[in-house]
Amino acid sequence: MSKLVTIYGGSGFIGRYVARRMAKAGWRVRVATRRPNEALFVKPYGVVGQVEPVFCNIRNDESVADVMTGADAVINCVGVLTESGANSFEAVQAEGAERIARIAAEKGIGTLVQISAIGADADSDSEYARTKAAGEAAVLEHMPGAVILRPSIVFGPEDEFFNRFAQMTRLGPVLPVVGAETKFQPVYVDNVAEAAEKALKGGVPGGIYELGGPDVMTFRELMQNMLTIIRRRRLVMNMPGFAAKGMAAGLSLAEKLTLGLFSNTILTRDQIANLSTDNVVAEDAKGLQDLGVDPVAMEAVLPDYLWRFRPSGQYAEIKESARDLKI
């Protein structure tokens, strides 16, 4: 019988790519998610019955254990960029990671992969970064041989980074950003999934791997690169710290006053703290090359999904070509 992998957060941005790769490799794939009815798109990744979305709440021991039963390998792709209700940074990224690792150890599962993030730091001003570090520590406590993958910003067709800012360019002539000079090393989502696949199949030494693509750019440079791709001219404006903190405070207050009817996914104080630190692979860190993965450059992927934000959408290149016609 083929091997079984349980992917916590398997219908998310990174998780779905891991699921697709593991299915192509012939594994049975159990996609653990809070809303399996919204994850049916993963089923065609394999043959009938090979990929199955199942309900799981990683805040509950029994729920986590149930979907891990019979698994040969486990990967945790669950993370949150903003807190929402009971899904706090602490509950999801620290306690959730600890729960998965603890139960995997109890069940005698030999392979565990944890998706973390570059910038995970127990001493960070950002709770996001602190809980990522706490999750890593808990995983290694229960599963010392676990593989921890720390990607920089992850890009791909479903990303919440380039798509979000490209959408913002439709709103006016100015594109405001926080931390314009902070450096990033974006990594292609399928490169992250390939690294996870290699780790799940075994043979990858345990430890921490920092994943970054071939390009290191400031936030401002990333936005200017994006603007070139979508054929738009916008002023990339760095928001002063006091203005950004004031905006974040106002948005958070609005969330509280509306009792959660308005969810602040725009800008939070924690995101501001996170954006104050460079997000690049450390010089002495193990990375994609150590995993045998060739990083894909942004220029090879971004035009394939950002074209829809061009003023003429799919017709942009046709119109540009027509300008060169001589009648």
Give me the residue spans of the domains in the chain: 4-156+186-212+279-295
What is d(CA 129, CA 28) in angstroms, rounded to the nearest whole number? 33
What is d(CA 51, CA 44) in angstroms, rounded to the nearest whole number? 8
Architecture of the domain made up of 4-156+186-212+279-295: 3-Layer(aba) Sandwich (3.40)
Looking at residue 314, its pLDDT comes to 78
Largest pairwise CA distance in the chain: 75
Taking only the tens of pLDDT, the chain with its 327 residues reads: 799 999 999 999 999 999 999 999 999 999 999 999 999 999 999 999 999 999 999 999 999 999 999 999 999 999 999 998 899 999 999 999 999 999 999 999 999 999 999 999 999 999 999 999 999 999 999 999 999 999 999 999 999 999 999 999 999 999 999 999 999 999 999 999 999 999 999 989 999 999 999 999 999 999 999 999 999 999 999 999 999 999 999 999 999 899 888 889 899 999 999 999 999 999 999 999 999 999 999 999 999 999 999 998 877 777 777 776 665
Q: What residues does 33 pair with on adjacent strands? A: 55
Looking at residue 107, its pLDDT comes to 98
Looking at residue 260, its pLDDT comes to 82
Q: What residues does 293 pair with on adjacent strands? A: none
Give CB contacts under 8 A, 24+ apart, made by 17-24. Answer: 17/156, 17/189, 17/190, 17/192, 17/193, 18/75, 18/77, 18/193, 18/196, 18/197, 18/200, 19/45, 19/51, 20/45, 20/193, 21/190, 21/193, 21/194, 21/196, 21/197, 22/197, 22/200, 23/50, 23/51
Looking at residue 221, its pLDDT comes to 98
Looking at residue 326, its pLDDT comes to 62
Exposure of 326 by Cβ count < 10 A (0-12 exposed, 13-18 middle, 19+ buried)? Answer: exposed
